[in-house]
Every structure is written in C-alpha cells, then in structure tokens.
Amino acid sequence: MKNIQQLFQSEDGNITQREQLLGFVEKILTSMDSLKDPNKTMLGPIQERSANFYKEIMEDFEVPEEGRGMNQVVGELTDLMKGHPYHTRNFVTNVLPMASIPGVLGQLTNSLLNGNNLWDVYGPAAAESEVKVISMMSKLVGYDFTESFGYTTWGGQGAVFSGLRMAIAKQFPHAKEEGVPNNLYCFASENAHYSLLKSVEAVGIGSNHLVRVKAGADHSMDMEDLKMRLTEVIEKGGIPVYIVATTGATDNFAIDDVKAIKEMATTFEEKYNLKPIHIHADSALGGFYAFFNDYDFANNPLHFERDVLVSLQNIRERMQYISLADSLCFDFQKLGQTPYLTSLFLVKEGKYLGLLDLEDFDTPYVGNRGYGSYHTGYTLECSRMGSSIAIYAALLAFGKAGYQQLLANYVRVNLVFREQLAIRIPSLQVVNEPNIGPVTAYRYYSKGLNWQGEQSGSYMLAQVQEINALNASLFEVLGKHRDDVFFGDTTRVCTVAVSDSDELVPVAAAKFFSISPYTEVEHIPAMIDSLQQSIDTLEALHLETVY
C-alpha cells in the first residue's frame, strides 16, 4: 500500500511528496519548453497521422499488469506534447486559445481539491467561485444581479441546450412529465452555430422545427425574414418557443441585433397572444466584447488607435443590448483565456431555474439537508467540475483593462491584416468586411470574379461551385504548411443566391483568426508572405490540371 500511496498528494503536507509532485511538473514544463519555437505553430515537428494510426492504437494498447512508475508515465505525457499545435504568433486558425497562467492555476487548484460542484458541501470552493463569477459577469453585461443566476456548463453547446430546456419549461411547465408538444419551433440565423441543431434534436422537438432565418449582407439575422418566418409558423398553428440570437458568429463574427429581435418577439406575443418567447444570446464567443460596454470612448484611457477605437465602438453598438436576452453564455475557453472546459450560462431571471429543478425525492443523497445551501439539481449534469475556479482566477488576474487590451489587439491585427491583404494579394477578398472582431474570412478568386459580384447573386451555381472547389484546394495547400502559419478555413462562412437556381449556396473561405496573445501587428507581413507562397503553389497546381 505504501508505494501506491506515493501516487497521491500527501495526506499530511510533507515536503518530500510535495517536491516529488513539483519535480514531475517541472519535467513536463521543461520538456514542453524545449519543443517551443515562436516561428512555428507546433511543439516540435508536425506529426501527420495516417488513417491507420488509430487502428494500430486499438490493436496495441491494454492496461499494464503492473504500474509503470512515474518516470515512465511522465515520459509518456511529454511524448504526447510532440507535434501538438501551440498558440504562437502564427497560430491564426479557429478560436483555439492558449490557456493563461491564472486559468491554468485555477484549474490546478480545482484538480487538487477535486471538489464536486454539484453541492457546496462537497465542493465549497467551486460553489463560491461560481456565485462570484455569475455576479461579476451579470453586472458586466447589465443584468440585475439580484434577479440573475447561472452555472458553468458543457460548452457554448450546453448553454444553447440549457436555454432551450428553459424556453420549453417556461411555456410548458409540465413538458418534463408529459413530453414536449409536437408544434414547437425554434429560430436562429443561418449563420448560427450548429449547437441549436443538436439541441432541437436532443429535446425531441425535431430538426424540421428549426427555422433557419436568412442573413443579410452583414451576415447578421435578416429581421424581415424573421418576421416572415414567425408569421408563417404561427399562422400554421406552430408555437415559437426559442430564438437564438448569435452575438459574434463563429466564422464571420456577425452580431445579430438582439434589441430588434426582442422587440419583434414582443410584438408577436402581443399580436397573437403568445406566451413569452425565450431569447438566448449565443454570446459564447463574442460576449467578451461586452468588456467595452462601459469603456470611456471619449477619453480612451487605454490609448487605442483611431481605427481600433471606431471598430470597438461598432461592436459595442450591438453588444450593449445582449442584456435584453433571457439567457447568455460566455465560453471562457475561447476569449476568456482559460483552459477547456469553462463555459458560463447566465440567466436573466434566475427563478426560472426552479422550473428545471428536481424534487427532493429524486436526489436522495445530496442537497436538502440542514447543512449546505447550494445544490445544482437544475443542471443537466449530475457531478460537475469546478470550472468556475479557473474563470474566477482569470477575471481577477486580467481585470477589465487586461481583457480590453487583449480583445482590442485582436481587432487591431485584423484591421492590419485586411489592409495588407488588399494591397498585396487582391485575389484574396475579405467576405466579412462589415464585421470586425477576432476573425477575417477571405476567399480566393480568379478570372476577374469577385466577392461583390458573387454576393449580389449574379453568378451561376456552377461558377460558385467552381470557386468553392478552388478554395478547397487552397485549404489543402494552407493545411500542408500549417506548422509555419496555421490559418483556419470553413466550408460555409455564409450562403449566396445564384442566378440560375433557387438554392442558397454555401461559400467556402479561409480564415485569419487572431487568438494568440503573441500575435502582433509586426507579425502580419510574414503571414502575408506565407499566404502569397501558398497562392503561387495553388496557381501552379491549377495550371497543371487545366493544361
């Protein structure tokens, strides 16, 4: 038993066991540091994995008869780091952030305590941090903290799901027992994250009852289309229960107009005598720009450049209204600088969580005692990790000003990237020009075609498909060099109309997603050089296949 006990933290706080643990951590960090190179986006050489790779693993691995000893285990752990993507200055793929030190230490504290966030008797640290971060973020967005509440959950996906559960419960409190009526409908922009699709499938509403509202030229929800779709559904006897307003779309950073959506929902409720339609602002990604809601733009205390300031003001124009939504989300593992998985679901009126709660009878071994007063019976999870501890640490360490500087820098580098791209590689055209934030989506055109023409709907289906195919080959070229500069891509940044079909056609685009704290303006020219090389490769390839 004695040597098994050595695999645990000490019971009594002795120095020997502490130093042993620190020694392992030191080894892991040293090994990781030896693989780092600011000009690469990988820890050591890139490791391509064949389709066979995972099959072989399945064949080769079984639980060892005897424990292997910690030195070997640490060796295995450091091996796992080799070839792993790493968030250097050239890491501009999707929203895959580096975990900050406060975030990592918060997570470590959480792991060391290993409390269960299900009940404050078992996880007091997490319960306390959870209430702290709920309060901090409620006040930040402009919720009334005496009314609002929330919890940490499984991703932006979990928040969209929880919002839907609540939306149904508000209109149909007995749906928990009786099942969901078969005439409920949910609405979101065509640019919304697929979280809602999975959620409507999972709660049994069915994806045929998910109405995808068209997006306008700025990629945000087209209000006229929402109006038409709501009317259509209601007049055919459907009941709208849930509208998801995407505030910061994952691929193009479009921000739906929450104020207009709220007003429209209210108008429909009055006109058709409907129960309140729950509005969830899917602010998983973009909500962090609410850090500028009370920024003093006139005095500009952080000395942002003119164009950065104007862009931030544009974002604020829409973001200031997210508090009109009934629920929201902050994916701290995105722009909040904490490790996976640290998402916060916030509810404007916390009392509605009661609609989702279990009866005492159903939770025999936790909660409802004379001791402890925080039992999260309303979450879909039973045991819960204490991710609020990492969130709390990050909010304290960065403060508003720290987040403002990071978030403004994403905008700054995107502005410079767009400017230099337009000058140096005109065949790559920005397709989310009206939206500024952490991401620029750009698309390759040849033969005098361009985004303006394509967006106006004047191209034929075959032409748009051909441009998509060309961009798909660009993705392949970019992907090959991802250890130098790791660009992102998407097969559907938005859709366009075409002249010879009624179909809306998906538009593929490459992405510059600024997410690393190390990406600065001075690094942009080298990235454009790298893009230029990829375009040269693409054009050479393309010529070969044509002739």
Ligand X SMILES: *Cc1c(COP(=O)(O)O)cnc(C)c1O
When binding is defined by CB under 6 A, the residue of 190, 256, 331, 454 that contacts ligand X is 331
Contact 463, 485 (CB under 8 A): no
Q: Does residue number 157 form part of the binding site for ligand X (CB under 6 A)?
A: yes
User: Could you give the CA distance from residue 450 to residue 209 in angstroms, rounded to a whole number?
Assistant: 35
Q: Does residue number 193 form part of the binding site for ligand X (CB under 6 A)?
A: yes
Q: Is 297 helix (H, G, I), strand (E, B) or coil?
A: coil
Tell me which residue of 146, 151, 145 sits closest to 166, measured CA to CA.
151
What residue is closest to ligand X based on CB? 155
Query: Which span (55-63, 151-159, 296-304, 408-416) binds ligand X, by CB under 6 A?
Result: 151-159
Report strand pairing: 239-246 vs 278-282: parallel
Neighbours of 132 (CB within 10 A): 16
Q: Does residue number 190 form part of the binding site for ligand X (CB under 6 A)?
A: no
When binding is defined by CB under 6 A, the residue of 156, 287, 339, 377 that contacts ligand X is 156
Q: How far is the CB of 46 from ligand X (least distance, A)?
A: 24
Q: Does residue number 97 form part of the binding site for ligand X (CB under 6 A)?
A: no
CA angle 395, 401, 403 (to 5 degrees): 55
Q: How far is the CB of 284 from ligand X (least distance, A)?
A: 4
Q: Does residue number 511 form part of the binding site for ligand X (CB under 6 A)?
A: no
**Spatial strand order in the sheet of 149-153:** 149-153, 343-347, 327-331, 278-282, 239-246, 184-189, 210-213
Helices (H), 85-154: 101-113, 124-141
User: Could you give the CA distance from residue 139 to residue 148 in angstroms, rounded to a whole number?
Assistant: 9
Q: How far is the CB of 248 from ligand X (least distance, A)?
A: 6
Q: Does residue number 250 form part of the binding site for ligand X (CB under 6 A)?
A: yes
User: Could you give the CA distance from residue 421 to residue 531 in angstroms, rounded to a whole number?
Assistant: 9
Query: Which span (10-18, 150-158, 360-368, 441-449) binds ligand X, by CB under 6 A?
Result: 150-158
Q: Does residue number 285 form part of the binding site for ligand X (CB under 6 A)?
A: yes
Tell me which residue of 314, 281, 345, 339 sits closest to 138, measured CA to CA.
345
The smaller minimum CB distance to ligand X, of residues 331 and 489, is found at 331
Q: How far is the CB of 477 from ligand X (least distance, A)?
A: 26
Query: Which span (149-157, 172-180, 228-236, 349-357) binds ligand X, by CB under 6 A?
Result: 149-157
Listed in sequence order, the residues at least 6 apart from 215 whose beta carbon sits closer than 8 Å to its beta carbon are 189, 190, 191, 221, 222, 254, 494, 495
Between helix 388-424 and helix 524-546 the angle, nearest 10°, is 60
Q: Is 358 helix (H, G, I), strand (E, B) or coil?
A: coil
User: Could you give the CA distance from residue 382 to residue 364 in angstroms, rounded to a whole number?
Assistant: 13
Amino acid at 300: N
User: Could you give the CA distance from residue 481 to residue 41 in angstroms, rounded to a whole number?
Assistant: 10
Q: Does residue number 103 form part of the binding site for ligand X (CB under 6 A)?
A: no
219 phi and psi angles, rounded to 5 deg: 70, 0
How many residues lie near ligand X (CB under 6 A)?
A: 12
Q: How far is the CB of 464 from ligand X (least distance, A)?
A: 25
Q: Does residue number 284 form part of the binding site for ligand X (CB under 6 A)?
A: yes
Q: Does residue number 152 form part of the binding site for ligand X (CB under 6 A)?
A: no
Burial of 296 (0-12, 13-18, 19+ CB in 10 A): exposed
HSE-CB at 192 with a 13 A cutoff on CA atoms is 29
The smaller minimum CB distance to ligand X, of residues 282 and 454, is found at 282
Query: Which span (109-117, 129-137, 154-162, 374-382) binds ligand X, by CB under 6 A?
Result: 154-162
Report strand pairing: 343-347 vs 149-153: antiparallel
Q: How far is the CB of 110 from ligand X (least distance, A)?
A: 18
The smaller minimum CB distance to ligand X, of residues 91 and 119, is found at 91
Contact 421, 511 (CB under 8 A): no
The smaller minimum CB distance to ligand X, of residues 391 and 474, is found at 391
The smaller minimum CB distance to ligand X, of residues 343 and 519, is found at 343
Q: How far is the CB of 343 from ligand X (least distance, A)?
A: 5
The smaller minimum CB distance to ligand X, of residues 246 and 471, is found at 246
Question: Both tokens of residue 488?
Answer: 């992102």
Q: Does residue number 195 form part of the binding site for ligand X (CB under 6 A)?
A: yes
Query: Which span (14-22, 116-124, 282-290, 301-309) binds ligand X, by CB under 6 A?
Result: 282-290
When binding is defined by CB under 6 A, the residue of 97, 106, 155, 438 that contacts ligand X is 155
Per-residue x/- track, 416-455, ligand X (CB under 6 A): ----------------------------------------
When binding is defined by CB under 6 A, the residue of 78, 90, 343, 514 that contacts ligand X is 343
Q: How far is the CB of 79 from ligand X (least distance, A)?
A: 27
Q: Does residue number 488 form part of the binding site for ligand X (CB under 6 A)?
A: no
Query: Which span (8-16, 152-160, 306-314, 356-364) binds ligand X, by CB under 6 A?
Result: 152-160
Site residues for ligand X per CB under 6 A? 155-157, 193, 195, 246, 250, 282, 284-285, 331, 343
